[in-house]
C-alpha cells in the first residue's frame, strides 16, 4: 500500500458478524477536521481552527472513533492528511487506530503544504482488493472520488466515497463522472457529503442514469444543531438489500453522520 494507505493492528476491534457474514455496516461523516460546531456563529469564532491546531481536536476525533467501532466501513470527509492545523497528524489514520480498524486509506485532494491537506478517508475492517483515486472535474481543483474494491473469489463490491462541490453546475459534472465510473459495475455503494438534496437536478440525473437508489428520501443532516438539509447520503445498487438507514444523533461537527446496514449477495465474499 502507498504512504497514505496502511494496514494496522486492530485494537480490540469488533469483528465482523460471523452469524451474518454478508451484512455490512456502513457509516459516512463529514468531520469538519474535528472542529466542534453547535451554531452558525462558530463558523466565525472558530474559523481560525481551519488554519491552526487546537488541543480539543484530537479528543473530538477520539470520541467519534468510539462511534465508528460499531461499523465495518466508514467514509470520512473533511479530514486533514497531516498539516499544521491538525498538529501534523493524519486524521484518517488517527481515527482508524482509535476505532480499531485494520485498514485505512487517505486521499488528499487539495494539498496546501504545511498549512492544510484537505482529504477524504475510508476505514475498513475488510481487506481491500484495489484502491483507486479519481480527480473530479471542476473549475477549481480539489474534489476527488475514492474508489475501493472488496471481495474474494466471486463478485466484487465497489465503494465510492465523495465530497462534492458547492456549485450545482460543477456537481452535475462530478456526478456525471461518477455515473460513468460505475455504469458497468453491479454491486456499488456511493456515499459521502454530496452537498445536494435528493430532489436536486444533479442528484436525480444520477439516479436516472445508474442503478443506484436511496432507501429513505428525507434524512436531514445539516446543520447538525438544527438539521434541515439532506446533504449526506449513502446510495446502493439494487443488488444490495438495505436493512436499516438512519441519521445518528451525534452533533459534533456541522454535519450529522449517516448509517446504513446492507445485506450483500452471497456471491460477494469479503476478506478479513
For residue 107, give the CATH number of its domain.
3.60.10.10
- 126, 72 contact by CB (below 8 A): yes
Residue 134 lies in a domain: yes
Q: What is the C-alpha separation between 159 and 73, in angstroms, rounded?
A: 9
Range of the domain at 236: 5-10+21-263
φ, ψ for residue 196 (rounded to 5)? -155, 160
pLDDT of residue 57: 87
Residue 151 lies in a domain: yes
CA 10 to chain centre: 20
How many Cα atoms within 13 Å fall on the side-chain side of residue 210? 30
pLDDT, mean over the chain = 89
Residue 192 lies in a domain: yes
Q: What is the C-alpha separation between 217 and 213, in angstroms, rounded?
A: 10
Closest CA to 25 of 123, 132, 120: 123
CA dihedral over 125, 127, 210, 162, signed as positive or negative = positive
Residue 271 lies in a domain: no
Tens digit of each residue's pLDDT (9 = 90 or more) over 5-58: 554 433 344 455 556 678 999 999 999 877 776 657 755 566 546 666 688 888
- Residue 102 reports pLDDT greater than 90: yes
- Residue 83 reports pLDDT greater than 70: yes
What one-character-per-residue DSSP string does 142-185 give? --EEEEEEE-SSSB-EEEEEEE--SSHHHHHHHHHHHHHHHTT-
Tens digit of each residue's pLDDT (9 = 90 or more) over 137-193: 999 889 999 999 999 777 999 999 999 999 999 999 999 999 999 999 999 999 999
CB atoms within 10 A of CB 55: 7
Residue 142 lies in a domain: yes
Q: What is the C-alpha separation between 193 and 70, in angstroms, rounded?
A: 21
Confidence of residue 118 (pLDDT cuts 50, 70, 90): confident
Residue 270 lies in a domain: no
CB atoms within 10 A of CB 218: 10
Residue 27 lies in a domain: yes
Residue 162 lies in a domain: yes
Pick left, alpha or beta for residue 256 (phi over 0 → left; psi -120 to 50 → alpha; otherwise beta).
Answer: beta
- Residue 71 reports pLDDT greater than 80: yes
- 77, 106 contact by CB (below 8 A): no
pLDDT of residue 171: 98
Q: Based on the structure, what is the number of domains in the chain?
A: 1
Amino acid at each position: 500500500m502507498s504512504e497514505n494507505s496502511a494496514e494496522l493492528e486492530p485494537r480490540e476491534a469488533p469483528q465482523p458478524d460471523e452469524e451474518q457474514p454478508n451484512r455490512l455496516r456502513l457509516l459516512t461523516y463529514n468531520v469538519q477536521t474535528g472542529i466542534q460546531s453547535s451554531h452558525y456563529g462558530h463558523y466565525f469564532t472558530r474559523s481560525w481552527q481551519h488554519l491552526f491546531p487546537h488541543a480539543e481536536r484530537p479528543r473530538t476525533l477520539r470520541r467519534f472513533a468510539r462511534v465508528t467501532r460499531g461499523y465495518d466501513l466508514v467514509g470520512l470527509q473533511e479530514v486533514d492528511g497531516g498539516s499544521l492545523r491538525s498538529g501534523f497528524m493524519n486524521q484518517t489514520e488517527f481515527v482508524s487506530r482509535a476505532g480499531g480498524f485494520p485498514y485505512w486509506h487517505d486521499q488528499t485532494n487539495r494539498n496546501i503544504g504545511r498549512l492544510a491537506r484537505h482529504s477524504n478517508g475510508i476505514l475498513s475492517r475488510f481487506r481491500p482488493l484495489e484502491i483507486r483515486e479519481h480527480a473530479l472535474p471542476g473549475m477549481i481543483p480539489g474534489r476527488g472520488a475514492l474508489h475501493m474494491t472488496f471481495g474474494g473469489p466471486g463478485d466484487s463490491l465497489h465503494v465510492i466515497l465523495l465530497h462534492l462541490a458547492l456549485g450545482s453546475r460543477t456537481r452535475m459534472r462530478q456526478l456525471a463522472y461518477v455515473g460513468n465510473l460505475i455504469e458497468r459495475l453491479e454491486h456499488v455503494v456511493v456515499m459521502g457529503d454530496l452537498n445536494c438534496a435528493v430532489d436536486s437536478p444533479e442528484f436525480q440525473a444520477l439516479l436516472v442514469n445508474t442503478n443506484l437508489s436511496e432507501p429513505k428520501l428525507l434524512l436531514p443532516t445539516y446543520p447538525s444543531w438544527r438539521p434541515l438539509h439532506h446533504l449526506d447520503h449513502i446510495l446502493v445498487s439494487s443488488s444490495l438489500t438495505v436493512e436499516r438507514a438512519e441519521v445518528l444523533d451525534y452533533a459534533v461537527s456541522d454535519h450529522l453522520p449517516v448509517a446504513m446496514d446492507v445485506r450483500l449477495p452471497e456471491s460477494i465474499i469479503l476478506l478479513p
